[in-house]
Each structure stands twice: as structure tokens, then as C-alpha cells.
């Protein structure tokens, strides 16, 4: 009782703390609880012994399980209370308030304490229940908090109670064990024996005390009676079913047979039942005899309990509803048995082959089988089938006799029911494994076909750029596969495991397994599968390209530009859909750094690009993308073989070469055009256009030059440049490591192209036969030059073509010059690097009167000898001319080299032919004066001031102190009456270079009164010979037939003075002396010049020789040949010593004289032009003795 009713008030020991509860036991330093009533308040020890946990016996186990900290309980309770109050406030706010007042003041709401509207009461009730619930929880927490102050005692109490409860349970178990033993002993007892009855039976065989019932046995039935009885029953069954029960037989019971006094109704795939009748009255019911299942697997005979139960149920159904009731009951019974059989097989599968993959659940009259329960997809989607009984009711919900109930199958795929599906459902031969396999096969088909359809909608597969094949099996899911091309001939097959539902990809490899993992971890494989397969293909392609490209000379690089720049490249071709893509950047070893090949990989189609980037500038913000072009290549027909990479190298290098050429042509403003053409030198997979270049634009600068030989085009204007391929070659690369061997790598690429020049006049090129050079061939039949061009990667091919064409044009001009030179100049070999031709003089005979005039027969000379000239055109410094030994033109070899490198080089063949008699005559004079020089009686020198200007000097030896005995004669070509002739004159007498005497022979200033003038006038200038025309103190000689006889006559006249004493000087008026031309120092002296210099008779050696003559007495003339030879030997030894001494001096003076010689040459050239010298053009380049 409480105190309010006047009852006694229960005295409490203490007042509970209403504040914060104690979360833990507070103990003093001795380990005792501060709240222990037996403890000393001052912390001291007490006299009485306080029991502890250690005082409990060992049999009592200390309980520590399921004990939670008090602070955790209070924190969770506070959190729960706060959340409950928030939810309650939100719920109260969401509930509608009371309706508005009757007076229509919608803004007025009464909220007083006596507000009794249902809405307010509901809110108050809700709030009250929430507060009461929380109050009760906190009261419990308060009690627990109070108890926690004595946690040690409570814990001890719990241990004791648990121990007592365990002992009580042991007592109960012993009690029940005794009862069980008593029950089992009942069957072990033996009944007490009935000895009285046993003794009576054993003695008399009867029991007197048992009553006699007196039953009479019926007579036995014979076989004939049985047959008659059965026939009667059969007849009555037939009549009843045919007439009386005809319209009452269910449709499923139309198949029946009557035999052995029973009617057997068969329902296909379900059961058969035997019925009979027990009376002739057709109103009586049928009676159940036997039942058998007609589906497999099933029991051949039902058990006796089942048969007994069936007999009761079937007889009852026959009594109430007749055959229809019998069929309905047995039909439903069989459907239930079939579901049971399905369930049994499913349970067996889940415990055997399909362990951990199936989940079987038995419902009321249905069952559910969930397959792929451990599917690796993280979405947690489930797939299952439900096997149950469909009522078969009509649209109005009423039973339809024509459509009885049946087994039905529902399929839930990825948490969604599939409405329309075609899965064969065999209910006669029950096999859960076959059913699951068929359902899973449809599921696998759905997954693979979804991926297939999405891939097939992409341009890559829609345009048949890659292989994609789907194989579907309706019965066996492991045979269904999706095959797609990865790259080259590599394929990936996607399958689905029948039991686990995991995707399996073949053939196994690290990349394939990585793609399989991504596909299995996808939340929705049907939607995201194409993306994962495309990522796999990209990774596979990049791996194959990286591994195979390195072995063939290609390198895979990192992406050098941004993603936005790559999008500008890939999306520039405007594909139907801008799918995500990945790019592979490659470069051929030997390319310049700005060229790349990029392959973009996406479902929109693989594309190959040739990209040019500008050089990377540090800190530059502008794009590096300079140029890009798409290459007509498809990965579906590609094979990553050596042939593919070779074709890729050829094609990309050809494109780079043509792009470089087009830029160069555009810069030089050369007309050009590109046209598609058939190129049989390239593989069939490569098609490169042919570049046509306008020849006139390419040679514009040369044609506009003033020294152009002719403006008439010798070739057709358009030149096709046909790409023929590339050539890679290795160069030595020395590593930086000390001692490392020298390595070779494929680092340079040559572009090979072919240019064809069709000539306008084939007759001009008859001298050219076959190969003109290593890279140039001429086909005289069609009149076409074929130029093989080889240039380094990045070098414009048109620049090399222009240089070749200019060289070829020079060669063409020279060949034309050979052709114009006549039959005496024959081209032996004409190439772009070397021209070899021969020349010989004409067959004009020597005049018959020449031997008598010259005082004897001339030295033997073979005029029909053929001389060979080799022009080396392959040097960068100029054209080098090589003459054979003994060639008369060796004396002007340096002038010939200068002329060959000048624009007038095409005149060389004519010049060789025209000057051959002249130089042959000079060689004869050299040979004739050689013994005279050996005797120190005189000397002959020829100074070549140019190709068309020769000064010859005859000098006789004089005693010391006597005046010099010397004469100079100039030889130049002159044109008179349209004919070029050699003009031989004495420059000391004729003045103005002999031009006045050439124009008018009577215009000679005076004749020479010295011994040379007299002998020349007497023996040369006054002689009339065929081919020679006398011009006062000079003569003009025919270039072919006259110059050689004229030189022979001059030589004979000069040699007639050898050995004669000098004339006695007579006083006479001296004419104004003209400066004797000083011969420049020759650069490459001929045979005569070298000989004259060795004898000390050159202009430089003359002062030294005079000094020697002053030191030695004069020894000539001597009478004997031995004295002459001794004297010549002595002179020759002195000359050699002098040459060695003067070599250093000449080298020091060479630079000093060079400037003076150039000025002198310019003056001589001006004088020569004023005197009318010309003909074939002279050259005033100096000759320098090395």
C-alpha cells in the first residue's frame, strides 16, 4: 500500500541520485568500492572480513558473457531518445490541424487546454505515448544505474543463480533419463506363460473353455463363374459409360479401357485409375480399386498408407461428384506430387553438383529455385523460377472444364519478371536439371544477345570492320558464346558458366582475365558489357602493337598532346556517334621527331592518322598540332605481321615525303598536281598518288639566267614523281659507356622515288645508251629519262630532283655539243657522274712541198691517233678533266678544268678538235728543241695565257755580257670572212695585238731587222703554202690543215739560227720598245714548260742562269758530240740545284704575285678584246706552278 491511502510507508535505505548515473565503480586505493556499505568511510580497513569473488568455490563459474558497459547503454539510450523525439515532432508537424471556425475565420485556430478536436487529441495521444515509452526506458536505466552501484554483489549473485539454475537443469535431466529407462525396460519384460492352456493344447489338441461359433464356409467359386461374373461387370461398365455416364465423363477421362471387371481411366503424363461398380443400379457410385502414376520418375506402386488414404478420398469424391470429382481430386493430387518431385530433385542438386549455386524454397503448393546465388555482380540482382499450379480459370474467374489446372512456370530474371518467354516445360519426364539448364540457356542468350546487339549497332561492327559472331544454344548454355575480334587474327570468346553465372573469356591470358574480372564486377553486364569488351580490345591492341612494333623498328610512345587536341583529330572525320576512344601513338625509328602515327580505337571504328606536331617549346601555351591526315586503313583487315609493319612504313613514309614535297613546291611556287595512278612497285594494299611537277617552273631561275644556252625546251613540261618505297640502313652508334662495343641500329630511312622525263626530240639523244648513271637511265626507244631519287626522311624530293634535272640538263647540253662537233668526236660513255669521249684530227694530208721547204722530213706523228678525255662530274668542287699520258692538251689542263666548270663547258668538244693540230705542233717543237736545250744552245718555251692564246718564245744562248737573243710569237684565233683561223704574229712589231695586221696585212708598222726577223721573213712570212696566208710580219693558218705546217716552218727557221754567232750590232735609230709580255706563272705546266723550267730557262730562273754564265767561260759552240753532252749534263745539274733552291722562294712569292697577276690578266683581257680576239672565248685564269 502507498502512503496516500493511509498505509505504511516503505522506508528506503537511501534516496536515489536523480542526476547523472554512475557509469563505473569507484574504488579506493585498496580496490574496495566507494559505495560499499561495509567499507570504512575514512578509507580504513574494517574488522569484519568482507566476502569477495575469490571466496566462491571453484564449482561456481564467473559469468562474463553478454555484459555491456553502463556508459554505452546510456549513450545509446540518449541517442535513441533524441531520434525518437525528432521523429515525433516531424510526425506531429505533418499531421493536419483542426478545421477552421464556423464563423469562417480561417486564420483562427484554438489551441487551449480544452481543445477536444480529433486532430489535437490524436497529436496529444501520440506525444503522450512517446513520452511514456521514453520514461519507462529511462526508469529502467535508473534502476540499472542503482544496481550498478553494487555491481560486485550483483555479479556474484548472477554467478550463484547461474550455478543453481545449472544444477536444477541437471536434476531435470536425470529425472527424464529415469523415465526413459523405465519405458525401455517395459519391452524387455517377458509375459507370464499360460501353462494351463498350453498343457491342454499339447495333450488333446483342443481348448475346452473356448466357444464354438459355428460358421459355414461358402462354396468355392469356379473359374467359369468368375469369368461370367467379370464379363457381366464389363458389360455393365460399358453400357453405363456409353449411355448413362456419357455426358458426365470429364474430357481427361475420354481415354479409358474396360477389362477384368474394372474400367481404367488414363490421363496422359499424370495417372491412371482403376474403378468398378458394386451394383447393377447405374445410380450407384463407382468404387476405387487401384491408382498408378504415369510420369517419371515416380513410384511404380503407391504405398499402402497412401493407397488407403486415396481409396477413402476417391470413393468420397465419386459418391459426391462422380467421375468429375474423381478426376479433379486425382489431378490435383498428381500436380502436388509433381511439385514434390521437382522439389526433391532440386534439393538433391543443391546438395550435390549444384552446391552453393542453388537456393530451393518450398511454398504451399509451389516451389522456388533461385539460381546463380553466388553471382559475382555487386548489384545483388537475383534470378529465380517459381513452379506452381495455375487454376486454369477463364477470363471471368470461373472454372473452365476445357482448361483444367496445370503446372505453370514463372521466370524472374535480374529481379524482373519475364512475361514472354518460350521455355519448353516437360511435365511427363520430370527433370529439374534439364529445366534449370533450359532457363539458364535463355538467360545466357539474353546476356550475350544484348551485348551482341549493342556492339552490332556500332559502326565498327556494322560496317564489318571487325569480326563479331554469336552462337546460341537453346538447350546447353555452355555452348553459347560471343566471339569478337581483338586485333589481327586474335579473337576473344565470351561464355557464361552454367552453374555460377560468371562470365568466362577465352583464351586465358592476363589481359583476358582482367577483362573477365571487369565484366563479372559490372552491375549490369547486358548494358555495360560492350564498354568492358572495348576496353579489353584497346588494352590488347596496345599490348600487341607495343610488343610487335618494337621488333620491327617501331616504338610506341606516350601521348604527346592533350585530350582535347586528340578529340579534334578523331572527331574531324564526323563519325555517326562520338564514342569514347583510346589512342596509340607510334613512330618509326629514323623518322624526324615531329612525325607520328596515331591509331584511335573505339566502337565507332578504328582509324589511323598521320600527325605532325611542332617542336615542343618550353612554357608555350599554343597547340602543338600542326597537321594531320587520315589514312585509309581498317584494323579488321590488318595483320600485325612483318609485312603489315613494312607496308605501314612504306605508306606513311611516302605520305610524309609527298607532304614535304608539296610544301616545298608551294614555297617555290612551282606548279604541281596529284593524280591517282597504278603503282605496281608497291604492295597491293598501298595506293599512293603520283605527283606531277611543271618543269618550266622548276627551272625558271636557270632559264631566266643570261647565260642560258637555249630557251627551247628539251623535255616535256610535266614530270611525274612516282613513289617507289623506302630503304632503311643502319649506322654505327657508339655508346657512351667506356669499353662498350659499337652497336648498329636501324636509324636512317631513305625515300625512294622515280621521276620520268620525256624528251621532245629523240634524235638529239642518240649518243645516250642505257644507263646514264647509277640512278638515271635513258630509253632511246621511247625517248624517256628515268631518274631514281633517294632522299633522307624529311628532305624534299623535289630539291634533289631539281639538282638532278640541272645536272641532266648540263649533260644534255654537252651531249648536244658532242653531236655538233662531228664525226671526229665520239662519246664512249655518258653518265651523270662521268663523260668519256674521244677525239682525233682530220685526215688532211701534209703538203708535198713541205719537206723541201722545211729543210728535211718532219718528226713522225700519227695523226689518226684517238685521244680520250674523261670528265668527272661527281665532285662538288667542280668538273675534273683527266687526260691520258701524251695528250697534247695536257699543257692547258688547269684551263680546261676551269672551262669545264664554267657555263661555256659545252664548247669543249669543239675546242679539243680545233686546237689539236696546234698543240700537236707545239709538242713537235718541244721534241725538236729538247736536244738543243741539252746542249745549252737555246731553248723553246710556250706560255698559255688562256685556252685561245699562246705565246711561244725562242731563245738562243749568248756569251756573258752580250744582248739577249730572243723572239716571242703570239698565236690567237681570228675570224676572217666567217672562218676561224690561227693568227701567228710577233707582238713586238705588229702593235695592238696584231689586230691591224689582221685587218690589213700592209698595216704592219715595220719589219724586224735582227736575225730573227730576217729569218722569219725569209723562210716563213714570204712562203706560200696551202692553208697558210701570209700577213706581212705574221701569218694566218687554217685550224685543221695550216697551223701544224706553219709551226713546223717557224721551228725550222728558228733552229737554223742555233749555233750561229750573234750578229754585229750596227748603229741605227731605235724604235720605241714595247714591253715584252711576261708569262704568268703556270698552274699546271705541260711537258714543254716543265722541261724548260728544269733547264733554268724560264722567266724566273733566267737571272740565276745569267749569273752562272758569268762565272763560267763560254763553251759553245763545241765541235765534238762528247763535249756537247758533258756541257748539257753540267747545265742540267745546275738547273736541278737551282730548282731546289728556288722552290721555297717561289712559294713565298706566290701570294705576293697573285694580286699583281690578277691585275695584269684583267689588263691583258681588255687589250685582247680591243684587238678583236675572240673565236671560242678566251680565259685569262693564271697558271700556278705547284
**Residue 22 or 329, more confident:** 329
Select from 330, 339, 296 the least CA-distant residue to 310. 330
- Write out the H or E segment, with its range, that includes residue 282: none
CA dihedral in degrees (413, 418, 420, 421; nearest 10)? 20
Mean pLDDT computed over 23-30: 38
User: What's the chain's average pLDDT?
Assistant: 77
SS3 breakdown of the chain: % helix, strand, coil, rounded to 5?
Answer: 40, 20, 40
pLDDT, one tens digit per residue, over 1156-1167 is 455 555 554 554
For residue 245, the model assigns a pLDDT of: 86
Query: 724-733, 927-936, 1112-1121 — which one is most confidently predicted on average?
Result: 927-936
105 vs 208, more confident: 208
Sheet holding 406-413, edge to edge: 358-362, 367-371, 383-390, 406-413, 416-418
The confidence score (pLDDT) of residue 238 equals: 93
* Least confident stretch, 232-246, 505-519, 1060-1074: 1060-1074
Contact 1062, 1077 (CB under 8 A): no
| Cα–Cα distance for residue pair 529/1158, rounded to 1 Å | 89
Residue 74: band (very low, low, confident or very high) from pLDDT cuts 50, 70, 90 = very high
Neighbours of 880 (CB within 10 A): 17
Model confidence band, residue 370 (pLDDT cutoffs 50, 70, 90): very high
Choose the weakest-confidence range: 821-835, 882-896, 916-930, 1110-1124. 1110-1124
- Least confidently predicted of 175-179, 384-388, 701-705, 896-900: 701-705
Residue 399 to residue 1136: CA distance in whole angstroms: 147
Least-confidence region, from 136-150, 775-789, 834-848, 1093-1107: 1093-1107
Cell of 505: 573469356
Phi, psi at 949, each rounded to 5°: -145, 115
Residue 263 contacts residue 230 (beta carbons within 8 Å): no
Res 1154: pLDDT: 52
pLDDT score, position 638: 64
Among the ranges given (422-431, 545-554, 689-698), the one the predictor scored with the smallest mean pLDDT: 545-554
Give the span between the Cα atoms of 530 and 787, in whole angstroms. 53
pLDDT for the residue 378: 61
- Cα distance between residue 27 and residue 978, in whole Å: 147
Nearest-angstrom CA–CA distance, 944 and 1080: 9
pLDDT at 687: 82
Give the mean pLDDT of 542-548. 83
- For residues 70 and 856, the model is more confident at 70
> What local confidence, expressed as pLDDT, does residue 433 receive?
93
Q: How do beta strands 743-758 and 770-771 pair?
A: unpaired
Q: Where are the alpha helices (DSSP H) in 385-523?
A: 432-456, 459-462, 510-520
Indicate if the pLDDT at residue 878 is higher than 70: yes
Task: Report pLDDT for 803.
Answer: 84
Residue 359 has pLDDT above 50, yes or no: yes
State the pLDDT at residue 742.
40
Average pLDDT, integer, range 432-460: 92
Q: Which residue has the higher pLDDT, 193 or 875?
A: 193
Of 399, 383, 386, the C-alpha closest to 339 is 386
Q: What is the mean pLDDT of residues 539-543?
A: 85
Question: Can you give the pLDDT at residue 747?
Answer: 60
Task: Say yes or no to pLDDT of 113 above 50.
Answer: yes
| Residue 21: predicted pLDDT | 39
**Would you place residue 634 in the very low, low, confident or very high pLDDT band (cuts 50, 70, 90)?**
low
CA–CA separation, 755 vs 784, rounded Å?
10
Angle between helix axes 908-934 and 1043-1055 (nearest 10 degrees) is 10
Mean pLDDT of 214-240: 90
The whole-number pLDDT of residue 466 equals 83
Q: Could you read off the pLDDT of 644-655 as tens digits, one per residue?
A: 888 888 888 889
Closest to 1075 (Cα-Cα) out of 1152, 993, 1157: 993
pLDDT value at residue 354: 93
pLDDT at 621: 58
* Average pLDDT value for residue range 934-963: 88
Choice between 1141 and 946, residue whose per-residue pLDDT is larger: 946
Q: Where are the beta strands (DSSP E) in 133-282?
A: 256-259, 262-267, 271-277
1185 contacts 1083 by C-beta, under 8 angstroms: yes
H helix or E strand, kind and range, residue 211? none
Alpha carbon distance 868, 831 (integer Å): 16
* Alpha carbon distance 748, 61 (integer Å): 90
Report the phi/psi class of residue 1008: left, alpha or beta, with left for phi > 0 and alpha for psi in -120 to 50: beta
- Sequence spans of domains, the chain: 19-93+122-188, 228-330, 333-444, 446-571+578-614+625-640, 654-732+744-795, 900-1061+1079-1170
Q: What is the pLDDT, as a whole number, of residue 649? A: 87
Per-residue pLDDT at 253: 92
CA dist 1033 and 1055 (Å) reads 19
For residues 1084-1092, average pLDDT: 33
Instruction: Report the percent of the chain where pLDDT is more than 90.
Output: 26
Query: Taking the CA of residue 210 as centre, how many other CA atoms within 13 Å lie in the half-sphere pointing to its CB?
Result: 8
pLDDT at residue number 1116: 30
Strands, E assignment, 986-1057: 1028-1030, 1034-1038
- In this structure, what are the phi and psi dihedrals at residue 927, rounded to the nearest 5 degrees? -65, -40
Q: Within a 10 A sphere around the Cβ of 134, how many other Cβ atoms? A: 16
> How high is the pLDDT of residue 1096?
32
Question: Does the N-terminal peptide bond of residue 138 adopt cis geometry, omega within 30 degrees of 0?
Answer: no
Amino acid at each position: 500500500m502507498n502512503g496516500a491511502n493511509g498505509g505504511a510507508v516503505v522506508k528506503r535505505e537511501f534516496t536515489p541520485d536523480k542526476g547523472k548515473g554512475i557509469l563505473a565503480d569507484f574504488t579506493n586505493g585498496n580496490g574496495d568500492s566507494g559505495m560499499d556499505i561495509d567499507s570504512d568511510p575514512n578509507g580504513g580497513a574494517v574488522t569484519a572480513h568482507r566476502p569477495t569473488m575469490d571466496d566462491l568455490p571453484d564449482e561456481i563459474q564467473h559469468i562474463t558473457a553478454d555484459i555491456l558497459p553502463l556508459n554505452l547503454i546510456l549513450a545509446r539510450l540518449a541517442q535513441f531518445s533524441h531520434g525518437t523525439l525528432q521523429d515525433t515532432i516531424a510526425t506531429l508537424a505533418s499531421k493536419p490541424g483542426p478545421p477552421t471556425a464556423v464563423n469562417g475565420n480561417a486564420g483562427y485556430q484554438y489551441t487551449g487546454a480544452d481543445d477536444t478536436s480529433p486532430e489535437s487529441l490524436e497529436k496529444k495521444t501520440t506525444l503522450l505515448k512517446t513520452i511514456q515509452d521514453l520514461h519507462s526506458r529511462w526508469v529502467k536505466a535508473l534502476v540499472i544505474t542503482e544496481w550498478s552501484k553494487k555491481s560486485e554483489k550483483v555479479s556474484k549473485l548472477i554467478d550463484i543463480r547461474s550455478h543453481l539454475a545449472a544444477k536444477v537443469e541437471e536434476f531435470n535431466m536425470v529425472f527424464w533419463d529415469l523415465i526413459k529407462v523405465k519405458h525401455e525396460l517395459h519391452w524387455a519384460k517377458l509375459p507370464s506363460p499360460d501353462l494351463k492352456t498350453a498343457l491342454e493344447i499339447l495333450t488333446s489338441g483342443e481348448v475346452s473353455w473356448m466357444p464354438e461359433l459355428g460358421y459355414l464356409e461358402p462354396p468355392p467359386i469356379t473359374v467359369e463363374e468368375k469369368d461370367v461374373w467379370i464379363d457381366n461387370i464389363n458389360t455393365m461398365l460399358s453400357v453405363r459409360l456409353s449411355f448413362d455416364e456419357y455426358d458426365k465423363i470429364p474430357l481427361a477421362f475420354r481415354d479409358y479401357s474396360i477389362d477384368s471387371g474394372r474400367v481404367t481411366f488414363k490421363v496422359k503424363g499424370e495417372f491412371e485409375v482403376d474403378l468398378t461398380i458394386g451394383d447393377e443400379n447405374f445410380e450407384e457410385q463407382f468404387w476405387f480399386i487401384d491408382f498408378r502414376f504415369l510420369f517419371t520418375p515416380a513410384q511404380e506402386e503407391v504405398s499402402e498408407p497412401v493407397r488407403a488414404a486415396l481409396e477413402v478420398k476417391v470413393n468420397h469424391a465419386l459418391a459426391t461428384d462422380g467421375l468429375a470429382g474423381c478426376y479433379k481430386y486425382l489431378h490435383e493430387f498428381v500436380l502436388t506430387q509433381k511439385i514434390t518431385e521437382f522439389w526433391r530433385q532440386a534439393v538433391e542438386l543443391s546438395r550435390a553438383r549444384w552446391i552453393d549455386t542453388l537456393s530451393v524454397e518450398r511454398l504451399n503448393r509451389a516451389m522456388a529455385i533461385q539460381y546463380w546465388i553466388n553471382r559475382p555482380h555487386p548489384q545483388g540482382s537475383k534470378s529465380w523460377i517459381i513452379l506452381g499450379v495455375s487454376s486454369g480459370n477463364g477470363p471471368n474467374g470461373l472454372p473452365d472444364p476445357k482448361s483444367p489446372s496445370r503446372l505453370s512456370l514463372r521466370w524472374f530474371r535480374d529481379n524482373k519478371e519475364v512475361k514472354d518467354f518460350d521455355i519448353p516445360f516437360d511435365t511427363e519426364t520430370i527433370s529439374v536439371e534439364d529445366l534449370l539448364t533450359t532457363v539458364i540457356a535463355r538467360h545466357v542468350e539474353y546476356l550475350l544477345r544484348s551485348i551482341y546487339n549493342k556492339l552490332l549497332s556500332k559502326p565498327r561492327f556494322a560496317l564489318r570492320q571487325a569480326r563479331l559472331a554469336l552462337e546460341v544454344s537453346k538447350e546447353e548454355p555452355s555452348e553459347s558464346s560471343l566471339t569478337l575480334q581483338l586485333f589481327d587474327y586474335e579473337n576473344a570468346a565470351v561464355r557464361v558458366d552454367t552453374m555460377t553465372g560468371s562470365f568466362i573469356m577465352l583464351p586465358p591470358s592476363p589481359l583476358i582475365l582482367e577483362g573477365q574480372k571487369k565484366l563479372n564486377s559490372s552491375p549490369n553486364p547486358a548494358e555495360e558489357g560492350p564498354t568492358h569488351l572495348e576496353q579489353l580490345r584497346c588494352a590488347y591492341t596496345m599490348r600487341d602493337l607495343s610488343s610487335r612494333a618494337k621488333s620491327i623498328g617501331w616504338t610506341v610512345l606516350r601521348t604527346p598532346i592533350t585530350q582535347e587536341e586528340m578529340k579534334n583529330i578523331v572527331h574531324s572525320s564526323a563519325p555517326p556517334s562520338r564514342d569514347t576512344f583510346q589512342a596509340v601513338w607510334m613512330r618509326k625509328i629514323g623518322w624526324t621527331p615531329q612525325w607520328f602515327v596515331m591509331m584511335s580505337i573505339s566502337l565507332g571504328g578504328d582509324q589511323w592518322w598521320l600527325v605532325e606536331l611542332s617542336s615542343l617549346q618550353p612554357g608555350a601555351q599554343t597547340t602543338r598540332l600542326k597537321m594531320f591526315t587520315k589514312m585509309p586503313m581498317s584494323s579488321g583487315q590488318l595483320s600485325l605481321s612483318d609485312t603489315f609493319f613494312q607496308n605501314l612504313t612504306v605508306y606513311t613514309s611516302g605520305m610524309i615525303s609527298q607532304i614535304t614535297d608539296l610544301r616545298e613546291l608551294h614555297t617555290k611556287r612551282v606548279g604541281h598536281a596529284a593524280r591517282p595512278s597504278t603503282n605496281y612497285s608497291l604492295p597491293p594494299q598501298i595506293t599512293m598518288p603520283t605527283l606531277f611537277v611543271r618543269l618550266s617552273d622548276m627551272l625558271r631561275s636557270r632559264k631566266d639566267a643570261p647565260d642560258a644556252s637555249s630557251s627551247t625546251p628539251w623535255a616535256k613540261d610535266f614530270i611525274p614523281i612516282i613513289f617507289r618505297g623506302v630503304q632503311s640502313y643502319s649506322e654505327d652508334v657508339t655508346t657512351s659507356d667506356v669499353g662498350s662495343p659499337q652497336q648498329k641500329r636501324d636509324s636512317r630511312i631513305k625515300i625512294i622515288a622515280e621521276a620520268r622525263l620525256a624528251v621532245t626530240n629523240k634524235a638529239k639523244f642518240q649518243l645516250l645508251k642505257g644507263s646514264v648513271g647509277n640512278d638515271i637511265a635513258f630509253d632511246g626507244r621511247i625517248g624517256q629519262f628515268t631518274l631514281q631519287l633517294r632522299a633522307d626522311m624529311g628532305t624534299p624530293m623535289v630539291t634533289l630532283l631539281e639538282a638532278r634535272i640541272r645536272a641532266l640538263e648540263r649533260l644534255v647540253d654537252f651531249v648536244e655539243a658532242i653531236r655538233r662537233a662531228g664525226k671526229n668526236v665520239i662519246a664512249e660513255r655518258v653518265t651523270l657522274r662521268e663523260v668519256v669521249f674521244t677525239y682525233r684530227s682530220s685526215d688532211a694530208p701534209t703538203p708535198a712541198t713541205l719537206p723541201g721547204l722545211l729543210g728535211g722530213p718532219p718528226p713522225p706523228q700519227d695523226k689518226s691517233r684517238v685521244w680520250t678525255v674523261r670528265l668527272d662530274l661527281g665532285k662538288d668542287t667542280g668538273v675534273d678533266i683527266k687526260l691520258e699520258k701524251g695528250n697534247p692538251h695536257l699543257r692547258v689542263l688547269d684551263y680546261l678544268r676551269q672551262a669545264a666548270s664554267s657555263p661555256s663547258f659545252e664548247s669543249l668538244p669543239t675546242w679539243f678538235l680545233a686546237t689539236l693540230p696546234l698543240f700537236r705542233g707545239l709538242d713537235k717543237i718541244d721534241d725538236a728543241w729538247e736536244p738543243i736545250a741539252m746542249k745549252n744552245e737555246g731553248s723553246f718555251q710556250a706560255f698559255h695565257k688562256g685556252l685561245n692564246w699562246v705565246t711561244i718564245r725562242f731563245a738562243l744562248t749568248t756569251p756573258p755580257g752580250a744582248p739577249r737573243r730572243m723572239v716571242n710569237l703570239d698565236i690567237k684565233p681570228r675570224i676572217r670572212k666567217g672562218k676561224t683561223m690561227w693568227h701567228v704574229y710577233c707582238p713586238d712589231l705588229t702593235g695592238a695585238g696584231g689586230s691591224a695586221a689582221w685587218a690589213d696585212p700592209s698595216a704592219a708598222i715595220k719589219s724586224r731587222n735582227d736575225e730573227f726577223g730576217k729569218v722569219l721573213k725569209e723562210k716563213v712570212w714570204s712562203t706560200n703554202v696551202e692553208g697558210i696566208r701570209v700577213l706581212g710580219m705574221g701569218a694566218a693558218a687554217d685550224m685543221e690543215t695550216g697551223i701544224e705546217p706553219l709551226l713546223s716552218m717557224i721551228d725550222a727557221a728558228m733552229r737554223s739560227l742555233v749555233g750561229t754567232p750573234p750578229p754585229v750590232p750596227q748603229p741605227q735609230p731605235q724604235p720605241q720598245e714595247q714591253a715584252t709580255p711576261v708569262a704568268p706563272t703556270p698552274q699546271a705546266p705541260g711537258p714543254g714548260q716543265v722541261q724548260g723550267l728544269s733547264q733554268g730557262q724560264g722567266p724566273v730562273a733566267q737571272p740565276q742562269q745569267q749569273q752562272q754564265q758569268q762565272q763560267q767561260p763560254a763553251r759553245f759552240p763545241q765541235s765534238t758530240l762528247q763535249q756537247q753532252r758533258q756541257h748539257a749534263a753540267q747545265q742540267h745539274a745546275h738547273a736541278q740545284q737551282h730548282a731546289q733552291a728556288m722552290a721555297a722562294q717561289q712559294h713565298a712569292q706566290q701570294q705576293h704575285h697573285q694580286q699583281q697577276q690578277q691585275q695584269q690578266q684583267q689588263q691583258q683581257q681588255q687589250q685582247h678584246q680591243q684587238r678583236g680576239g675572240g673565236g671560242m672565248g678566251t680565259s685569262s685564269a693564271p697558271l700556278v706552278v705547284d
